[in-house]
Amino acid sequence: MFYGSIPALITPFLNDKVDYNSFERIINFHLENGSNGLVPCGTTGESPTLAHDEHKKVIEECIRVTDKRLPIIAGTGSNNTEEAIDYTNHAEKVGADAALIVTPYYNKPTQDGLFGHFKKISDKTNIPIIIYNIPGRSIVDMSVSTMSKLAKIDNIVGVKDATNDLFRPVLTKNEVKNDFCYLSGEDGTALAYLAQGGAGCISVTANVAPKLCSMMHLEWRNKNIEKAQEINQNLSALHQALFIESSPGPVKYAASLLGLCEPDTRLPLVSIKDETKAIVKNCLHKLNLI
């Protein structure tokens, strides 16, 4: 269904407004460098700070520019169930291939609450839904049991697993339907996740190293294990550097060095420190990206 390197796209800003010209440049960069799909309006896209009309327009622009050349997994999650339904219905209407829906952050629902949230959204749409499980940001972890119950729903088709628990996909595979799609949400363990049965990675690093990230996945699929491991090793320092400070600050700075956009984030995120910039820049140099 979905596989390989799928960048969780940054949302470029200029003078605190969405910079759609740079966004189109970013999308074309991925089309030219082998990415296997795109995710607009995820965590890396600073979705919590996008106004509703901005959120919807970013998804629309991603679909327009991509023009069916890559699958689009639109970020439509919210800790407000009705808002998530609205975003998901919009994504379906404008032609997204799937919706990425995060576990409700801040509310801290029980497992029954998580089930009810995703069940209600799935009842209101026909678009394929990928559950985004990221306990580090949402403070709630969907259990394997809850995931397996939701996987029985026809249009809940996969998970973006950002738990960094490499036993999780194996345990989940024992409980859910065979065609469930497993995507990692952690660049540093993406290759190991493939070895545990994953199909790909929704990636931060692929924003600035799309060719290397897609090559790693291609080499794995072609059973060139040592080559995949070599690429993974080469990318490891960049994976670390992009999370020295809160993402997407470092990756936006890296994108600015590539001439893709300005490094601007929206409050409460601020510009990264000079020492972080130096580390990020050095990583890009070592990979011959700049």
In a domain, 51, yes or no: yes
Q: Is 132 part of the annotated catalytic residue set?
A: yes
Question: Predicted confidence band at 211 (pLDDT cuts at 50, 70, 90)?
Answer: very high
What confidence category does residue 96 fall into, taking pLDDT thresholds of 50, 70 and 90? very high
The pLDDT tens digits for 144-199 are 999 999 999 999 999 999 999 999 999 999 999 788 999 999 999 999 999 999 99
For residue 265, the SS3 value is: coil
What is the structure's pLDDT at 158?
98
Neighbours of 187 (CB within 10 A): 25
- What is the model's pLDDT at position 196? 97
**Residue 9 belongs to what domain range?**
4-209
Rounded to an integer, the average pLDDT of 261-265 is 98
Q: What is the dihedral sign for C-alpha 103, 74, 76, 181?
A: negative
The pLDDT of 237-256, averaged and rounded, is 98
Q: Which amino acid is at 56?
A: K
* Residue labelled with tokens 């990675």: 201
- The helix or strand, by DSSP H or E, that contains position 240, with its residue range, turns out to be helix 225-241
Read off the CATH number of the domain in which 84 is found.
Answer: 3.20.20.70
Percent of all residues in the chain with a pLDDT value above 90, rounded to a whole number: 99
Position 177 scores a pLDDT of 75
What value does the mean pLDDT take over residues 221-245?
98
Q: What pLDDT band is residue 1 in, cutting at 50, 70 and 90?
A: confident
**Domain for residue 261, yes or no?**
no
Give a yes or no: residue 214 inside a domain. no
Mean pLDDT on 81-85: 98
- Considering 56, 57, 87, 132, which one is annotated as catalytic? 132
In a domain, 162, yes or no: yes
Cα separation, 213 vs 201, in Å, equals 9
- 107 within domain boundaries: yes
* Mean of pLDDT values over 204-227: 98
SS3 call for 75: strand
Contact 147, 182 (CB under 8 A): no
Q: In 3D, which of 143, 12, 158 has the Cα closest to residue 99? A: 158
Residue 27 CA to residue 40 CA, distance in Å, equals: 10
Which tens digits make up the pLDDT trace of 8-24? 999 999 999 999 999 99
**H/E element holding 133?**
strand 129-133
Q: What is the DSSP letter of 126?
A: -
Residue 195 CB coordination number (10 Å): 13
The whole-number pLDDT of residue 128 equals 98
Q: Does any domain span residue 72?
A: yes
In total, how many domains does the chain have?
1
In angstroms, the Cα distances linking 249 to 215, 236, 241 are 25, 18, 11
Cβ atoms of 21 and 56 within 8 Å: the answer is no
How much is the pLDDT for 178? 80
**Is residue 251, in this structure, part of any structural domain at all?**
no
Decide if 188 is inside a domain: yes
Options 57, 160, 252, 277, the catalytic residue: 160
- The torsion region of residue 259 among left (phi > 0), alpha (psi -120 to 50) and beta comes to left
Helices (H), the chain: 20-32, 52-66, 81-94, 111-123, 135-138, 144-151, 168-173, 190-195, 210-221, 225-241, 249-257, 274-286
The H or E element spanning position 156 is strand 156-161
